[in-house]
Amino acid sequence: MRVQVDILASLVVAFAGATATSAQNSPVFQFTEKPGPFQVGLKVVEQYDYSRVYRHSTDALGKPYSGERARPLQTLVWYPAQTSAGKPMSVADYGDLMATETTFGKPKMPVQAKRWITGMKPALATPLWAVRDAPPASGRFPVVIYAPSFSAMSWENADLCEFLSSHGYVVLASPDMGATSRAMTSDLAGINAQAGDISFLIGYAQTLPNTDMSAVAVAGFSWGGISNLFAAVRDNRIHALVALDGSMRYFPGLVKQAGDVHPEQMTIPLLYFAQGEITLEEQARYFTDTAKNEGPSVLNSWTHGDLITAHMLGLVHVEHSSMYQRNEDVWKGFHDDRKGDYEREDGIIGYAWIARYTLQFLDAYLKHEAAATAYLKKTPAENGAPKHFMTVNYRPAKGVPASFEAFRSELGRRGFSHAADVYAAMRKEKSDFKLNETAVNSWGYELMADNHLPEAIDLFKLNVQIYPDSGDAFDSLGEAYMESGQKQLAIESYKKSLEKAPMNENAKEKLKELEANAPPVK
């Protein structure tokens, strides 16, 4: 496991900038926010995702591997807890978890992990808030999945995770790993592996007695801030996203290559923290892979979900992690890349504001607190932020995206009698959008099975409008009319079906039955 190497490699892979000053005479990071009303508990769960193979069939020596080959996911769960006299976790305690990230029950601290811990030596004794296995507080709480940066440990932002938990959230995280190794890979396979981990953790959260699964968000730093986008596209249990200088901004080419990731169709809210200004020269230096970098802007495309963009003017990439800020090795040699004349102390201040805005965002969209929503719409100065420190832009969602899921949701909101209008509006936005005939037909029969006949008829009417030459579409409309007792309309629909598909035996039989029972024409 190349923990140290891969973590530092992420400074390039996910455009890590650098920090303000050298380590000499600089302050050790301290999280300055106050805890919420709950004490924080922490559980460490060693579990496998048996749906995915992680280890090769042979070991490093090429011999048959006899151990468990399923994907290991050391899972950290921070949760609101009852008051406890237990000793809180220190930075060193979190560091010790690296010894069993993938070797459950068999501690083995890799050399690179030891170096990472050595770099954090001045901060190792620092106590944080979480108490291992503290008794949980009563109630159910919204869920936040934390997705770490490239190859990073699950606790790289333990301060943020504990802070959210103290305010009534259950937070889960696992290490950032590649598809078949501890080292992440900077490609679609790597993103998909982490996106799969996110969904696995959501499924695990569902088994916990203290979670409210109607309110789920994913927060990701750097590489985790592109994997969380992929997860949200594929997992409708996710209701909000937070990206800490996420790679969704820096690698639009990977978003394009995915094929199924369409930011312009997303309707959930996104809070995006961006590091200070990136010059064209810096972009040219860090982003050299054209295939990964050419594609549509995710943030510009995010028009159908609320978007809050917080520009942290003095922060560089690594300062979006509290544990990066604690590692003295990370600070060495980066003085020339700092933003303006911001100093290392400003990173401590900025991190506190990241935590504060993240909490307000989650309170607004998961707990639906009006005061939190109002907070997000204010200027940073109105919220007490230092001048010239950050800007926040709140862009509300507009319109409805042209997608099947959005179409279903909009009919649920406006009513099925508006099906044609909703479809026309989506076609106006995206001219090549077209509902799938079979999908609409299946949906209509689902409604019929639940005795929602008027709604089924409205859908089938839209289907024959979209597919006027389909015998099947008219056949389904005829059946819905027949079930609702509208015999004449049923007869007309079945006749249309036979015009389009003369060999439709079902339409022939139904038409014969209807005409036999039809009242005589006077």
How does pLDDT run across 287-302, given as a tens digit for each residue?
A: 778 778 888 899 999 9
Cβ-contact 184, 223 below 8 angstroms: yes
Tokens in use for 262? Answer: 């369409």
Classified as helix, coil or strand, 322 is: helix
pLDDT confidence of residue 399: 84
Average pLDDT over residues 224-234: 98
Cβ-contact 506, 475 below 8 angstroms: yes
339: exposed, middle or buried (Cβ count in 10 Å: 0-12, 13-18, 19+) = buried
Distance CA 172, CA 174 (A): 7
Looking at per-residue confidence, does 504 or 285 come out higher? Answer: 504
Average pLDDT over residues 451-468: 96
Instruction: Write out pLDDT tens, residues 489-515.
Output: 999 999 999 999 999 898 899 888 888
Distance CA 443, CA 233 (A): 21
Classified as helix, coil or strand, 485 is: coil
Percent of the chain surpassing pLDDT 90 = 78
Q: Look at residue 474 and tell me whether its pLDDT is greater than 60.
A: yes
pLDDT confidence of residue 336: 65
Q: Among the listed ranges 20-24, 69-73, 365-369, which one has the minimum average pLDDT value?
A: 20-24
Provide the pLDDT confidence category of residue 260 given band limits of 50, 70 and 90: very high
Instruction: Write out pLDDT tens, residues 128-169.
Output: 999 999 999 999 999 999 999 999 999 999 999 999 999 999
Max intra-chain CA distance, the chain: 102
Provide the pLDDT confidence category of residue 67 given band limits of 50, 70 and 90: confident
pLDDT confidence of residue 9: 44
Looking at per-residue confidence, does 282 or 69 come out higher? Answer: 69
pLDDT confidence of residue 287: 75
Which of 50, 243, 24 is CA-nearest to residue 148? 243
Residue 368: CB atoms within 10 A of its CB come to 10
Tokens in use for 90? Answer: 């220190």
Distance CA 76, CA 91 (A): 15
Provide the pLDDT confidence category of residue 414 given band limits of 50, 70 and 90: very high
Residue 427: CB atoms within 10 A of its CB come to 15
pLDDT confidence of residue 6: 38
Provide the pLDDT confidence category of residue 22 given band limits of 50, 70 and 90: very low
Q: Among the listed ranges 4-18, 35-49, 137-151, which one has the minimum average pLDDT value?
A: 4-18
| DSSP conformation class of 439 | H
pLDDT confidence of residue 522: 54
Cβ-contact 132, 89 below 8 angstroms: yes
Cβ-contact 7, 152 below 8 angstroms: yes
**Sole residue written with tokens 């509290």:** 322
Distance CA 418, CA 407 (A): 11
Classified as helix, coil or strand, 45 is: strand
**Sole residue written with tokens 């927060």:** 219
pLDDT confidence of residue 464: 97
Cβ-contact 20, 347 below 8 angstroms: yes
Which of 314, 277, 429, 309 is CA-nearest to residue 376? 309
Cβ-contact 501, 464 below 8 angstroms: no
Which of 271, 205, 190 is CA-nearest to residue 235? 205
Looking at per-residue confidence, does 285 or 393 come out higher? Answer: 393
Cβ-contact 498, 483 below 8 angstroms: no
Distance CA 265, CA 271 (A): 17
Instruction: Write out pLDDT tens, residues 307-337.
Output: 999 999 999 999 999 999 999 998 886 676 7
Q: Look at residue 231 and tell me whether its pLDDT is greater than 90.
A: yes
Tokens in use for 218? Answer: 């994913």
Average pLDDT over residues 348-374: 98
Phi, psi at 24, each rounded to 5°: -65, 130
Classified as helix, coil or strand, 276 is: coil
Phi, psi at 21, each rounded to 5°: -135, 170
Please measure the distance between the N-terminal and C-terminal CA atoms of the chain and give it in whole angstroms: 87
Tokens in use for 446? Answer: 């689902």
CATH code that applies to domain 3-395: 3.40.50.1820
Alpha carbon 403 to its chain centroid, in Å, reads: 19
Distance CA 400, CA 139 (A): 35
- CA separation (Å) from 458 to 210, 419, 422, 464? 41, 7, 12, 10
Q: Look at residue 478 and tell me whether its pLDDT is greater than 90.
A: yes
pLDDT confidence of residue 400: 85
What are the start-end ranges of the H helices in 252-403?
Answer: 252-258, 280-286, 290-293, 298-301, 322-326, 328-331, 344-365, 370-377
pLDDT confidence of residue 21: 37
Selection from 327-331, 349-353, 407-411 with the highest mean pLDDT: 349-353
Cβ-contact 176, 194 below 8 angstroms: yes
Instruction: Write out pLDDT tens, residues 80-114.
Output: 999 989 999 999 999 999 999 999 989 999 888 99
Kind of pairing between the strands at 307-312 and 39-53:
unpaired
Distance CA 401, CA 420 (A): 15
Q: Among the listed ranges 40-44, 82-86, 153-157, 196-200, which one has the minimum average pLDDT value?
A: 82-86
Provide the pLDDT confidence category of residue 26 given band limits of 50, 70 and 90: low
Average pLDDT over residues 49-65: 91
Q: Look at residue 356 and tell me whether its pLDDT is greater than 80.
A: yes
Distance CA 365, CA 90 (A): 31
- CATH class for the domain made up of 435-516: mainly alpha
Instruction: Write out pLDDT tens, residues 232-258.
Output: 999 999 999 999 999 999 999 999 999
Where in the chain are the domains? 3-395, 435-516
Average pLDDT, the chain: 91
